[in-house]
Chain A
Amino acid sequence: MKPTRVLVTGLGPVTSIGIGAQAFHRAQLAGTSGTRHLTRFTIGGTECYAAGEIDLPPEHEASRRLALGTDRCAQLALVAAKLAVADARLQPAALDRSRMGVVIGTGIGGAQTWQDSATAMTQASPARLSSKTVTKAMCNSATALVAIEYGCMGPTSTPVVACAAGAEAIVAACQMICSGEADVVLAGGAEAPLVPMVLAGFAGTRALAPPTDTPHAASRPFSADRVGFVLAEGAAILVIEAADHAARRGAHALAEIAGYGRTTDAFHVTAPASDGDGARRAVEAALRNAGLTPDDISYINAHGTATVLNDEAEVRALQRALGTAAKRVPVSSTKSQTGHALGASAAIEAVAAVQSVSTGTIPPTINLTTPDPTLSMDFVSSAPRRADVAAALSNSFGFGGHNVVLAFTRP
């Protein structure tokens, strides 16, 4: 990463537990659950899946005009960008916008648009779709619309590496800054997967928590009785900025991005490599890249999906990568509260990791009353913990075997 220092100067989370940096942080510390019985649609019988739905307040609701030309995925990204830009006190019009970039990852993009279009194709005769079908549905829609909104004319891109997409976006932002292409990058992830065919598709993988009577407690990472992840929508954008640029405009730095590690399992599309080997290598690579040792790490924001396979492989990976430090490093999973927002999740969790550094608090894993006895780590559960977080890691692993670990330090 050196010599350019890369800072986080603004946060814009849009999640089922809170919208905006303060609301999200408060909800995290309060142990709020954002998962509830799905209200948007039903599939199959009367049993109901849990989901992390977001009720956008009127001030963030898309106008009718915007809604016609955008999928909810991009709409959530636009809200996240607005919040992040405000949080960073960024005034794009006053900056060199040819040096402003945008990188917003997603797993799926405009899922509702594809589903509606498929329905229209079978129902309308002759089949005719809106001229905006493609631009609404395409995965880079959020990136493009945020760039248009803020006039960002530097580099833009859209990583699509499933549940690691938001972290991959932050890596890309760091690289844009370190290579000298950009001064500021709006980076993160967005996902709006609460669509029948996406939910049914994930149910088909058996990775999804089954229908439940207790939706608030459905996402149980690291728990002995964990049953899979809870699908959620969400977005988060971070303002990522070169340190000298941030200093020139008097921006407040929340954390430094000290480094990252990226590896690929090259093993199986859903199952993690044996003993979490790909994840272990990513954690080790992040430490190396950031110039940190396991003893420097004060908090790990886990991928922690609550699937049987992920949580076991992730803990094994952490134990091997951290050695003796694995016994004392606090670990928690944001997905216990928000649900799993796929391509947005890594960006949401990067926000949580940044806030652990900037506030000195570690958010809890909720619904973790009985940890899996085979997974022994210092899980922060039931209540947040105060800690001097000098360095935090955020893990993200995507279907396909994509592993990205981000390292944040105090600026």
Chain B
Amino acid sequence: MNNDDALRMIRRVLSDTLGVDADAVVPDAHLRDDLGLDSLDAIDLVAALQDELGEQIESTLIADVATVGEVAAQVRRRLATQ
């Protein structure tokens, strides 16, 4: 998965999980402040990423990031270490 693919996937998953417009899911968007992510959304987001990537994703992957771009970076980093 290249950078563009990862970002595209993250945007789709976030849009579906948070029920927000895909156009709002830009790399700089803050998950909590801009997209309204709360603690329950975070659980569903991790589950959705697991479905997408077919593997266990630790909830810390989301806990330590603030923006859409950072989620994408974490996912790419994780895929690269496999």
Contacts and interface: CB of A to CB of B under 8 A. Distances in A.
A69 B41 CA distance: 9
A113 to B, nearest CB: 14
A65 B43 contact: no
A67 B43 CA distance: 17
Contacts of B19: 63-69
B17 to A, nearest CB: 8
A131 interface: yes
B6 interface: no
A66 B19 CA distance: 8
Nearest to B40: A131
B44 interface: yes
Interface residues of A, number: 12
A134 to B, nearest CB: 10
Contact of B20 (A64, A69, A131): A64
A299 to B, nearest CB: 44
A64 B19 CA distance: 5
B44 A65 contact: no
Given A65-B18, A131-B43, 10 more contacts: A64-B19, A65-B20, A67-B19, A68-B17, A69-B19, A69-B40, A128-B47, A130-B44, A132-B40, A132-B44
Interface in A103-154: 128, 130-132, 135
Nearest to A68: B19
Nearest to A135: B40
Please report whether the interface of chain B is mostly helix, strand, loop or mixed according to DSSP: helix
A130 B20 CA distance: 17
Interface string B37-76: 0001101100100000000000000000000000000000
Interface of B: 17-20, 36, 40-41, 43-44, 47
Interface of A: 63-69, 128, 130-132, 135
A67 B19 CA distance: 8
Contacts of B40: 69, 131-132, 135
A68 B43 CA distance: 14
Most buried by A among B17, B41, B43: B41
Contacts of B41: 131
24 contacts: A63-B19, A64-B19, A64-B20, A65-B18, A65-B19, A65-B20, A65-B36, A66-B19, A67-B19, A68-B17, A68-B18, A68-B19, A69-B19, A69-B40, A128-B47, A130-B44, A131-B40, A131-B41, A131-B43, A131-B44, A131-B47, A132-B40, A132-B44, A135-B40
Contacts of B43: 131
Contacts of B47: 128, 131
Contacts of A63: 19
B54 to A, nearest CB: 13
A72 to B, nearest CB: 15
A70 B20 CA distance: 15
A69 B43 CA distance: 13
Contacts of A132: 40, 44
A270 to B, nearest CB: 37
A43 to B, nearest CB: 29
Nearest to B45: A131
A64 to B, nearest CB: 4
> 9 closest A-B pairs (Cβ-Cβ)?
A65-B19, A64-B19, A131-B43, A68-B19, A131-B40, A131-B44, A132-B40, A130-B44, A65-B20
